[in-house]
Each structure stands twice: as structure tokens, then as C-alpha cells.
Amino acid sequence: VLMGTEIIADSATSITLQVLINLLELSVDAAFKRMLLIAKSMHRDAILSLRENNIELAKEILKSDDEVDRFSFYIVRQLNIAIKNEHLLKEIGLDDSRNCLGYRLIAKSTERIADHAGLIAKDIIEMERPLNKDIIEKIAEMSNFALEVLDEACLSIFKRDYDSADLAIEKSRGIDDLEKGIIRVASKLRDINEIYRIKIITENIRRVAEYASDIAEIVLNMTVQQKLRKG
């Protein structure tokens, strides 16, 4: 990607860029939205790659991971600048320097979410043969659930909403039952290597829901005073 441009959307078939005129043109919220778009796209592509045994798509997922890292670096850089300058803080869309640490932690969790898509992609590349189709569909269901938790957590960030964050944390607890259901079915397979790979993939998906819950927990901490004031 050329210097001065940022990826704002990415999928298996297209990529959208924005040319940045200056350092402050992309707000922290906008950068987060784009970072999250890429991370979620990586997970959707990972499931598509798993379904189709598409090795080339899996390799593209690994490249997208670098873009998420770039956004994380951009956000942390903006926060480091803004925390020392109240005027710049407002320019990048924040109203309280105390929230800068929270945003840094959210950026790190989003990075980790993308990393887990990358780990799934690596596993697909290394597979000797495709997984059981019925189990792939159960994995897809689990992945969709994890991304729903992430969407709820993201909504709480952008709305600065305590209740949405609380809902995301509550919803995230459902991921364990989905994982256990898949492992229970997988344990009946004869191929030990296939069982191991299924466990690795489901663990990576579970981590998405857990990091989404972590993000929501940070939002709770950032909005608790606002919630108390409202009563």
C-alpha cells in the first residue's frame, strides 16, 4: 500500500483505499471501523477458504493481517500524540484523555482477533485434505456467532453504550457450548489428525468471542460513570 493511503474495506474480491491528506483526517473511530472491517473479513474468508479448500484465499488472509497491524500502529500513534495535546484529542474524535488507554487495549484486542484468522488460514494451508463437511458447517455457525459477539462489542464502542457492552459480554458466554458441541461430534472421527485440526480451529474462533468480550469489558469501564449519572 502506498504511503499516505489507508485500506478502508477488504474482501476476497475487492479492496478499497482512501488517500489521506493529513495525519488527522482519519479519526480514531474511523480507523477502528476500518481495522474491524478487515479483521471480520479475514474471518469470513477463513471460513470460505475452509469450505472450498481454497489455499490461495488462505494466503491472502495472511497478507490482510499486515493491514490490521498497520491500523493498530496508526491508532496507537494518534493516541500517543493526542494524549499530550487536548486540542488534537478532539481533532481525532475523542473527548477524554482517560479513554486513550482503553482505545489502545481495544486496538490490541482487534489485532489479536485478526491474528486468529491468520492462524486458521495457516492451518488450512497446511492441511493434507479437507475437513469433514458437516463439521465445517458447524464451525461456520460458531464463527458467525463469534462475529455477532464482536459486532455487539463494536456497537458499544461507537455508541459509547454501557448496556450494549453488557449484552456483548453476556452473549459471548454462548461460544463455549458451540465449541463443545463441535468437539463432541469430532471426537467420533477416526482420523486423530483431523480431530486435532478441528480443535485448533475452534479454539481460534473461541478466542474471537473472548477478545470481543474483553473489548466490551473495556467499554464498560469507559462508560460506567456515564451510566451512574443516568441512574
212: helix, strand or coil: helix
Domain count, the chain: 1
Residue ranges of the alpha helices (H) in 98-191? Answer: 100-126, 133-159, 162-172, 175-186
The pLDDT > 90 percentage for the chain reads 63
Average pLDDT along the chain: 87
**Among residues 189, 76, 204, 169, which one has the least CA distance to residue 129?**
189
What's the confidence (pLDDT) of residue 142?
98
Phi, psi angle pair for 10, to nearest 5°: -150, 135
What's the confidence (pLDDT) of residue 227?
76
Question: How confident is residue 84, by pLDDT bands cut at 50, 70 and 90?
Answer: confident
What's the confidence (pLDDT) of residue 124?
96
| CB 200 within 8 Å of CB 208 | no
92 or 144: which leads in pLDDT: 144
Which residues, at least 6 apart from 15, have a Cβ–Cβ distance to it below 8 Å? 7, 9
Domain CATH for 199: 1.20.58.220
Asked if pLDDT for residue 231 goes beyond 50, the answer is yes
Domain boundaries, position 78 = 5-230
pLDDT tens-digit map of 42-66: 999 999 999 999 999 999 999 999 9
15: helix, strand or coil: strand
Asked if pLDDT for residue 140 goes beyond 70, the answer is yes
pLDDT tens-digit map of 170-185: 999 999 999 999 999 9
